[in-house]
Amino acid sequence: MDEQQEREIARGLREGEADAWRALYDAYAERIWRVVARLLGANSADVADVVQETFLAAARSASAYDAARGSLWFWLCGITRRHVALHYRKEKRHDRLRAAGDWLADRNGQVLRCLEGQSVAPPEVLAAAELATLVRATLTELPAEYESVLTAKYLDGESVEHIASQQRSTVTAVRSRLARARQAFRQMLLRYSVFADDKRTP
């Protein structure tokens, strides 16, 4: 979708035009579904509910959309992230996260060394359900600007140049944000390991 199409849809959203909502949904529903499925797990029965809540929230906040702050996709991703985080809190997945934190602590720093680029993670670690749980939870806890660049770069495989275009930013700014986001991600992930160790201390 080019900028002219985005401007037309944005204008229609602000004015409550049904055609604009249909165009927004047709353009982004599948991509939003993939984002939510990646964060909740592809088999989660809650994916449809979160996607629906995302578009309802977008409808309620359409008048606040500011094209100067990013593309429609970037705006929708921010709304999606908030609703995924709300879902995690609502469902109280503490037991699942605690078990994943125990798993992380039991790796004796192996996963964190991999994130630092000091070693290569074995395939069984990369495929572990516990790691997937921690990655999803960590992404939802990060600031929106960090979650969006990490997801775009490492999960969607988008180039820095494309991310900069989508976020109405510069390549230099996106690279800097990615560096800060990676650091924040590592620190947040480490919290789960420390939490698990604290729980096991008599």
Residue 3 is which amino acid? E
- What CATH number is associated with residue 180? 1.10.10.10
What is the structure's pLDDT at 81?
A: 87
140, 195: one domain = yes
- The domain boundary, picked from 38, 68, 92, lies at 92
Residues 114 and 201 in one domain: yes
Question: What is the SS3 assignment for 120?
Answer: coil
Counting the structural domains of the chain, the total is: 2
Q: What CATH number does residue 52 fall under?
A: 1.10.1740.10
- Per-residue model confidence as pLDDT tens digits over 136-147: 888 888 888 898
Q: Is residue 120 part of a domain?
A: yes
**Using CB atoms within 10 A of its CB, is residue 27 exposed (0-12), middle (13-18) or buried (19+)?**
middle
**Other C-beta atoms lying within 10 Å of the C-beta of residue 133:** 20
160: confidence class by pLDDT, cuts 50, 70, 90: very high
Q: Do 39 and 118 belong to one domain?
A: no
What tokens does 56 get?
Answer: 């309802």
The token duo for 153 is 């770069």
- Work out the number of other CB atoms within 10 angstroms of the CB of residue 63: 9
33 and 7 in one domain?
yes
- With beta carbons less than 8 A apart as the criterion, state whether 131 and 111 touch: yes
Of the listed ranges 89-93, 139-143, 173-177, the one predicted with least confidence: 89-93
Examine the domain organization and report whether 86 and 111 are in the same domain.
no
Q: Would you state the torsion angle of the CA atoms of residues 30, 34, 35, 38, taken in this order, to the nearest 10 degrees?
A: 170
Among the candidates 92, 116, 142, a domain finishes at: 92
Q: Is 189 exposed, middle or buried (0-12, 13-18, 19+ CB in 10 A)?
A: buried
Are 197 and 141 part of one and the same domain?
A: yes
72 neighbors 6 (Cβ within 8 angstroms): yes
**Average pLDDT, integer, range 35-58:** 85
Residue 195 has pLDDT above 80, yes or no: no
Domain of 155, in residue numbers = 107-202
pLDDT of 181 above 90: yes
Residues 48 and 123 in one domain: no
Whole-model pTM? 0.53
72/153 same-domain check: no
Interval 49-55 mean pLDDT: 91
